[in-house]
Structure 1
Amino acid sequence: MADSKLMRGTMILTAATFASKILGLIYIFPFTAIVGQTGIALYSYGYLPYTVLLSLATLGVPLAVSKFVSKYHALGDYRTGHRLFKSGLLFMGLSGVLAFMLLYFAAPYLVPLIIKNPTENGNSFEDIVFTIRMVSVALIVVPMMSIIRGYFQGFQSMGPTAISQVVEQIVRIVFILAVTFSIVQVMQGSLGVAVGFATFAAFVGALGGLTVLVVYWFKRKKYIYEQIEQSKVDHELSLKSMYKELISYALPLSFVGLAIPLYQLIDLFTFNNTLIGNLLSQEESEVAFAVFSNTAHKIILIPMALATALSITLLPTITKSYTTNDQPLLQKQITQTYQVILFLTVPAAVGMAVLAYPAFGALYGMDDYEIGGYILRYYAPITLFFSLFAVTAAILQGMNKQKYAVVALCVGLLLKLSLNTWLLSLFGPLGGVFATYLGYTSSLIVTVWAIGKFAEFNYVLIAKRALLILIFAAFMALGVSIVNTGMQTIFPITTQLQAFPSLFLGITVGAVIYLYLGYRSNLAGQVLGARFRFLKKKKKQQQEG
Structure 2
Amino acid sequence: MSSKLLRGTFILTLGTFISKFLGLFYVIPFYSIVGKEGTLLYQYSYVPYTIFISIATAGVPLAVSKFISKYNALEEYAVGRKLFKSGLVIMLISGFIAFLVLFFSAPLLAETIRADKGLGSADEIVTVIRAVSFALIIIPFMSLIRGFFQGHQSMGPSAVSQVVEQIVRIVFLLAGAFIVLNVLKGSMVTAVSVATFAAFIGGLGSLAVLYWYWYKRKPYLNELLFQDKGTINISLKEIYKEILIYSIPFILVGIANPVFQFVDLLTFNRAMVSIGIPRNLSEDALSILNYQTHKLVIIPVSLATAFSLTLVPSITKAFIEDDQLSLNKQLNQTFQVLMFLTLPAAVGLAILSEPIYTLFYEHDLQGSEVLQAYAPVVILFALYSVTAAILQGINEQRFTVLSLLVGILIKLSLNIPLIKLMETKGAVLATALGYGVAILINLFVIKYFSGYKYSLVFRRGLLIIIFTVLMMIAAGVMYQVATIFLSPKADLQAMIIVAICAAAGAGIYFYLSFRTKLIYILFGSRVDRMLNKLRLRA
Q: Identity percentage over the alignment?
A: 47
- Does the 8 Å CA contact 2:128/2:196 hold for their aligned counterparts? yes
Distance 1:295 1:228 in 2: 48
Using the size of structure 1 for normalisation, the TM-score is 0.86
- Does the 8 Å CA contact 1:296/1:372 hold for their aligned counterparts? yes
Q: Indicate the residue corresponding to 2:263 in structure 1.
A: 266
**1:20 partner amino acid:** S
| Unmatched segments (≥5 aa) in structure 2 | 530-538
Q: Indicate the residue corresponding to 1:94 in structure 2.
A: 93
Q: Indicate the residue corresponding to 1:137 in structure 2.
A: 134
**2:135 partner amino acid:** A
2:198 maps to which of 189, 198, 201: 201
Q: Indicate the residue corresponding to 1:19 in structure 2.
A: 18
Q: Indicate the residue corresponding to 1:405 in structure 2.
A: 400
2:427 is the alignment partner of 1:432: yes
- Does the 8 Å CA contact 2:69/2:316 hold for their aligned counterparts? no
Q: Indicate the residue corresponding to 2:355 in structure 1.
A: 358
Q: CA offsets per residue over residues 94-145 of structure 1, 9 Å max, x none?
A: 22222112111211211232222233xx333222111111001111222222
Q: Indicate the residue corresponding to 1:254 in structure 2.
A: 251
**1:31 partner amino acid:** F
Q: Indicate the residue corresponding to 2:179 in structure 1.
A: 182
Distance 2:513 2:147 in 1: 41
Distance 2:516 2:219 in 1: 58
The worse-fitting range, judged by mean Cα deviation, of 78-87 and 197-206 is 78-87
Distance 1:528 1:502 in 2: 30
Q: Indicate the residue corresponding to 2:532 in structure 1.
A: none
2:444 is the alignment partner of 1:449: yes
Using the size of structure 2 for normalisation, the TM-score is 0.87
Q: Indicate the residue corresponding to 1:285 in structure 2.
A: 282
Q: 1:311 to 1:527 in 2, by over 3 A?
A: farther
- Does the 8 Å CA contact 1:307/1:387 hold for their aligned counterparts? yes
Distance 1:65 1:228 in 2: 18
Distance 1:216 1:327 in 2: 34
Q: Indicate the residue corresponding to 1:43 in structure 2.
A: 42
Q: 1:528 to 1:126 in 2, by over 3 A?
A: same
Q: Indicate the residue corresponding to 1:304 in structure 2.
A: 301
| Unmatched segments (≥5 aa) in structure 1 | 535-545
- Does the 8 Å CA contact 2:249/2:401 hold for their aligned counterparts? yes
- Does the 8 Å CA contact 1:308/1:341 hold for their aligned counterparts? no
Which secondary structure state, in structure 1, belongs to the residue aligned with residue 277 of structure 2?
coil
Distance 1:467 1:151 in 2: 39
Asked which structure has the greater CA Rg, the reply is 1
Q: 1:521 to 1:144 in 2, by over 3 A?
A: closer
Distance 2:315 2:398 in 1: 17
Q: 1:514 to 1:83 in 2, by over 3 A?
A: closer
Which secondary structure state, in structure 1, belongs to the residue aligned with residue 413 of structure 2?
helix
Q: 1:350 to 1:4 in 2, by over 3 A?
A: closer
Q: Indicate the residue corresponding to 1:211 in structure 2.
A: 208
The worse-fitting range, judged by mean Cα deviation, of 307-316 and 420-429 is 307-316
- Does the 8 Å CA contact 1:78/1:228 hold for their aligned counterparts? yes
1:383 to partner: Cα distance: 0.7
Which secondary structure state, in structure 1, belongs to the residue aligned with residue 115 of structure 2?
coil
Which secondary structure state, in structure 2, belongs to the residue aligned with residue 276 of structure 1?
helix
Q: Indicate the residue corresponding to 2:115 in structure 1.
A: 116
Which secondary structure state, in structure 2, belongs to the residue aligned with residue 493 of structure 1?
coil
Q: 1:327 to 1:243 in 2, by over 3 A?
A: closer
**2:367 partner amino acid:** G
Q: CA offsets per residue over residues 323-361 of structure 1, 9 Å max, x none?
A: 555545544432332222222222221111111001110
Structure-to-structure mapping, 1:385-534, within 5 angstroms = 385-519=380-514, 523-524=518-519, 526-530=521-525
1:384 to partner: Cα distance: 0.9
**2:36 partner amino acid:** Q
Distance 1:399 1:254 in 2: 17
- Does the 8 Å CA contact 1:80/1:234 hold for their aligned counterparts? no
Distance 1:57 1:468 in 2: 42
- Does the 8 Å CA contact 2:41/2:192 hold for their aligned counterparts? yes
**1:387 partner amino acid:** A
Distance 1:219 1:519 in 2: 40
Distance 2:491 2:72 in 1: 56
Q: 1:407 to 1:214 in 2, by over 3 A?
A: same
1:513 to partner: Cα distance: 3.3
Q: 1:376 to 1:461 in 2, by over 3 A?
A: same
- Does the 8 Å CA contact 2:70/2:316 hold for their aligned counterparts? no
Q: Indicate the residue corresponding to 1:33 in structure 2.
A: 32
Q: Indicate the residue corresponding to 1:542 in structure 2.
A: none
Pairwise CA RMSD = 3.3
- Does the 8 Å CA contact 1:279/1:428 hold for their aligned counterparts? no
Q: Indicate the residue corresponding to 1:345 in structure 2.
A: 342
Distance 1:89 1:373 in 2: 45
- Does the 8 Å CA contact 2:411/2:433 hold for their aligned counterparts? yes
The worse-fitting range, judged by mean Cα deviation, of 372-381 and 511-520 is 511-520
**1:56 partner amino acid:** I
Distance 1:294 1:181 in 2: 19
- Does the 8 Å CA contact 1:525/1:532 hold for their aligned counterparts? yes
Q: Indicate the residue corresponding to 2:106 in structure 1.
A: 107
Q: CA offsets per residue over residues 125-168 of structure 1, 9 Å max, x none?
A: 22211111100111122222223444455566555444433322
- Does the 8 Å CA contact 1:311/1:341 hold for their aligned counterparts? no
Distance 1:468 1:504 in 2: 25
The worse-fitting range, judged by mean Cα deviation, of 138-147 and 330-339 is 330-339
Q: 1:29 to 1:117 in 2, by over 3 A?
A: same
Q: Indicate the residue corresponding to 1:543 in structure 2.
A: none
The worse-fitting range, judged by mean Cα deviation, of 377-386 and 470-479 is 470-479
1:374 to partner: Cα distance: 1.1
Q: 1:142 to 1:306 in 2, by over 3 A?
A: closer
- Does the 8 Å CA contact 1:311/1:340 hold for their aligned counterparts? no
**2:245 partner amino acid:** S
The worse-fitting range, judged by mean Cα deviation, of 460-469 and 433-442 is 460-469
- Does the 8 Å CA contact 2:5/2:314 hold for their aligned counterparts? no
**2:337 partner amino acid:** V
Q: 1:148 to 1:321 in 2, by over 3 A?
A: closer
- Does the 8 Å CA contact 1:142/1:206 hold for their aligned counterparts? yes
Q: Indicate the residue corresponding to 2:534 in structure 1.
A: none
